[in-house]
Structure formats: C-alpha cells, structure tokens
Structure 1
Amino acid sequence: MARDVQITFDCADPAALAAFWADALGYRVQGPPSGFESWDEALEAMGVPPERRNDASAVLDPEGTGPRLFFQRVPEGKRAKNRVHLDVRAAPGLTGDARMAALEAEAERLVSRGATRLGRFEPAPPLDAGHIVLADPEGNEFCLD
C-alpha cells in the first residue's frame, strides 16, 4: 500500500521558510482551520501565546498531488550538509544549453527571494543532464534539475 509523504524541515523561522518554499514550488501556505479568517485568529482561540505562533507552518500543492512540506521551529541551527535534499524540476523536457539557461533563470529568481547559489554542474552525458545547487534562506541544500 502506498503511503502519503510529508517532508519536514527543522528551522528557525517557519513562516518565512514556508513562504520561500511556497514560492519556489508553486505551492500555497496552508490556510487556517475552518471557521477562522487567519492563523492568528485560530491560534488566539486555541490559547497559543503570541511568542509561540511561529512554531510551525506548512505548504501544500494546490493540485493535491505533491507532498505537504511542514516547517517546525527548533532551537539549534543547521550543522552539516543535508543527507536528503529536494530536487526541484525546473527544466522538464529540456536538454543542453536550453536546459541550463532555464535552470539559470530559476536560480536567479530564487536567489532574489533569499536562496544562496552553491554551485553549477555542467551536463555530463549520458547520466548527468546538468544541475544547479542552491541553499534555501536557512541553508538547506536543494538542486534545480
């Protein structure tokens, strides 16, 4: 039986990191529970103190096919290279120079929104079509491929 998957990020600022990934993936920030106009209103009704209202956030695929990304505040910062990372498919169906140009355009867009560029890997056929490595605003590595 196939199972749904949620990808969880430990981070310092769940709301900001959720906004970055929603933009990067074309997702949307998960809305508040039914009956509430905003998360602040919902959390107030739940008795969550103001200093705890950015403890978590999530983003959803608007088409409902991709995994939910969950962001939870933790006290410690990132310490080492990720052992698991996301590959963001930014150039589907493209090859060669057209592929790398599309990846560069997306890399520039994400850098303007807080990502850091870490490296570019040129195509090395037949197994590697080329990719660009970035880090999100909290240093989590991901690839544009």
Structure 2
Amino acid sequence: MSNDVQITFDCADPAALAAFWAEVLDYERQAPPEGFDTWEAALAAFGVPESEWNSRDAIVPKDGDGPRLFFQQVPEGKTAKNRVHLDIRVVPGLEGDERMAALEAEADRLGALGATRAYRVDPAPPMEVGFLTMHDPEGNEFCLD
C-alpha cells in the first residue's frame, strides 16, 4: 500500500501563505469541486459564511508529482523554531561559488515575494555544501539548498 503525503501549515492567512508557497514551489491552487468555477462559488453554495472563506486553502503540484500543501488558520501565532522544515532543492549538482550565487539569486526572488533571510552557511567540504535559511511571510523556517 502506498501512502500519500500532505504537508500542513498552521497560519494566520491561508490564502496569502498558499499563494507564497505556490510561487516558491511552482504549484497551483487546488481546483474547486466539480461543478464550480471558483472556490468562492462553492463555499457560498455550501453555506460557508464569508467570514470563514479564508480559514483554509490548498496548493498542489502543477504536474501532479509531489505532496499537497494544506494551510489552516489558527488563532495563535508562531512562537518557536520549526521542528520540521522544507528544504527547497533549487541548485542540485552545483558547488562552491556557483552554487551560492544561484542560492542568493533565489533568495532575492523569494524576498520580493515576502520571505526574509535568517542566515547563510557557506560551503565547508567535505561535509557542508552550503545553504541559506529563510523565513516565509509568517515566520516558518525553510532552507534553500
């Protein structure tokens, strides 16, 4: 038996955080249920109060290969370091200065989308190839690797 994986984010603004991660991962918002052109139309038809329309959201890989990311609104903010985080593998195979330059370029792109830089770890062979740790717009850590 094969298990599907979904990654869930607790957050304050599911729509905004889903849009951020869709850009990071080249994902798309999950399509509304069959028979509806938009999620808003579906939620209205289901009787969900408009005040709850941004209580959850989901994005999926455009090509269908990868986990679904689910975003759920919670009342509390983030208070501690993540115990699990995503590593975004943007430069597999690159090494040294070329690798770090490509990671810096991606960090700049994501910064324009609302990410912030936490710190940089430079290459230190043989164990460390170098990476950047970032925060998404709600403070969740992730690495550019």
TM-score normalised by L of structure 1: 0.98
Q: Percent identity?
A: 65
The equivalent of 2:91 in structure 1 is: 91
Structure 2: which 5+ runs fail to align?
Answer: none
- State the superposition RMSD in angstroms: 0.7
* Aligned positions of 1:3-14 closer than 5 A: 3-14=3-14
The whole-number CA distance in structure 1 between the counterparts of 2:27 and 2:105 is 19
Q: Write the deviation string for residues 48-102 of structure 1: whole angstroms up to 9, x where unpaired.
A: 0010000100110111111100000000000100000000011121111111011
The equivalent of 2:82 in structure 1 is: 82
* C-alpha deviation, 1:29, in angstroms: 0.9
Q: Write the deviation string for residues 107-145 of structure 1: whole angstroms up to 9, x where unpaired.
A: 000011000110000011112110000000000000000
* Aligned positions of 1:8-23 closer than 5 A: 8-23=8-23
The whole-number CA distance in structure 2 between the counterparts of 1:129 and 1:27 is 27
The equivalent of 1:28 in structure 2 is: 28
Structure 1: which 5+ runs fail to align?
Answer: none
The whole-number CA distance in structure 2 between the counterparts of 1:85 and 1:126 is 24
The whole-number CA distance in structure 1 between the counterparts of 2:2 and 2:142 is 25
